[in-house]
Chains A and B, each alone.
Chain A
Amino acid sequence: MSLQIPRSVQRDLSLAGYWGAVVFVFAFCVVLLCAFLLQFASSELPCVLCMLQRMAMIFTCMGPVYIISRTAHGEMSVTNFARGYGYTLIGAVIGMLMSLRQLTNRGAPLDPGYGSAVLGLHAYTWAFVTFAIVVLWSGVNMLFAVELSPPRQLPLGVVPKLVLGLFLALIAANVVSVFFEVGFHWKLPHVPTRYELLYDLGIK
């Protein structure tokens, strides 16, 4: 079943589907950058569940990255488009459950919450909001997969290249950051207060 729409509108919708994936990755890059801003500017080290939510965010972005890459390689199809958002949906549901877990941990009366609030909400509450939006976004994209599926091939333009580069750089930054935080230990402490690697090496 597909909607009967004029060809010119269909072309615009295809492009909207492609740029939707690019905007998706960029939006999560901004969220991850904000997390780094909280970490370095406010010296709030991410806890166990915070780190797991960052992982879920990276995991969630794999779908749109898959869509952008398949389009750049000239292999885009409705199946690949839906598969991309399938990757995303699974990651988003896991991330939503993680942030919900932290929300219920910190939801008791008089609990000040973990870390400082941003615009009145804590980071994990914002994470829950972003994952909920992603679930809805994925649902809409899968519902209209036929209409929103990008053209078979589009050259990888400057903006998508920059967004993918930023995404890869942020994953690498997270690897380095968490290594500094965990050091040579197997796991993060429940409430991290220092960079274990620097502490173990006697630097700080």
Chain B
Amino acid sequence: MDAIVIALMAAMAVLIIRKPRDPHIWYLWGISLVLVVGWWMFHEVFTPGVTEVTL
């Protein structure tokens, strides 16, 4: 999943550099934003240890 999100950002970077007026940039940006925050929240809820304070 992490690789997919970064690959999506790579696609967005290439599109921004080649065609900065392309409206698809908005979609890619929005999807990336949702995926990054969503993936973080997924870990917060479902990955044991991430939310724990270690002593």
**A56 to B9 alpha-carbon distance, docked (Å):** 10
Task: Bits for B10-39, please: 1 = Cβ < 8 Å to A, else 0.
Answer: 101110111011000100010011001101
Contacts A106-B54, A108-B55, A168-B13 given: A190-B36 contact, CB under 8 Å?
A: no
A6 → chain B closest CB, angstroms: 31
Known contacts A52-B40, A90-B33, A174-B6; is-contact A190 B1 (Cβ 8 Å): no
Secondary structure of the B side of the interface?
A: helix
Question: With contacts defined as CB atoms under 8 Å apart, how many contacts are there between chain A and chain B in the complex?
Answer: 103
Of B7, B16, B50, the contact of A175 (CB 8 Å cutoff): B7
- B9 partner, pick from A49, A59, A111, beta carbons under 8 A: A59
Interface residues of A in 23-79 (CB under 8 A from B): 48-49, 51-52, 54-56, 58-59, 61-62, 65-66, 69-70, 73, 75
A111 to B52, CA, bound (A): 12
Q: Closest CB of chain A to B9's CB: distance in Å?
A: 5
How far apart are the CA atoms of A90 and B51 in the complex, in Å?
23
Residues of chain B lying within 8 A (CB to CB) of residue A132: none
Contact of A182 among B2, B7, B16, B17 (CB under 8 A): B2
Chain A min CB distance to B26 (Å): 10
Asked whether B13 lies within 8 Å of A62 as measured between CB atoms, the reply is: yes
Q: Which of B2, B14, B16 makes the CB contact (< 8 A) with A51?
A: B2
* Complex: A139 Cα to B51 Cα, angstroms: 31
Residues in A70-121 with C-beta less than 8 Å from chain B: 70, 73, 75, 87, 90, 94, 98, 101, 104-108, 110-111
| Contact between B53 and A175, CB atoms less than 8 A apart | no
Q: Is A171 an interface residue (CB 8 A)?
A: yes
By the criterion CB–CB under 8 Å, are A94 and B6 in contact? no
List residues of chain A with CB within 8 A of the CB of B12.
62
A19 within 8 A of B: no
**Cross-chain contact A105 with B20 (CB below 8 angstroms):** no
- Decide if A187 is an interface residue (CB 8 Å cutoff): yes
Q: Which B residues have a C-beta under 8 Å from some C-beta of A?
A: 1-3, 5-7, 9-10, 12-14, 16-18, 20-21, 25, 29, 32-33, 36-37, 39-40, 42-44, 47-55
12 extra interchain contacts, Cβ-Cβ under 8 A, other than A111-B55, A191-B49?
Answer: A52-B36, A62-B16, A62-B29, A66-B20, A70-B20, A94-B37, A98-B40, A104-B53, A108-B54, A171-B10, A187-B2, A190-B48
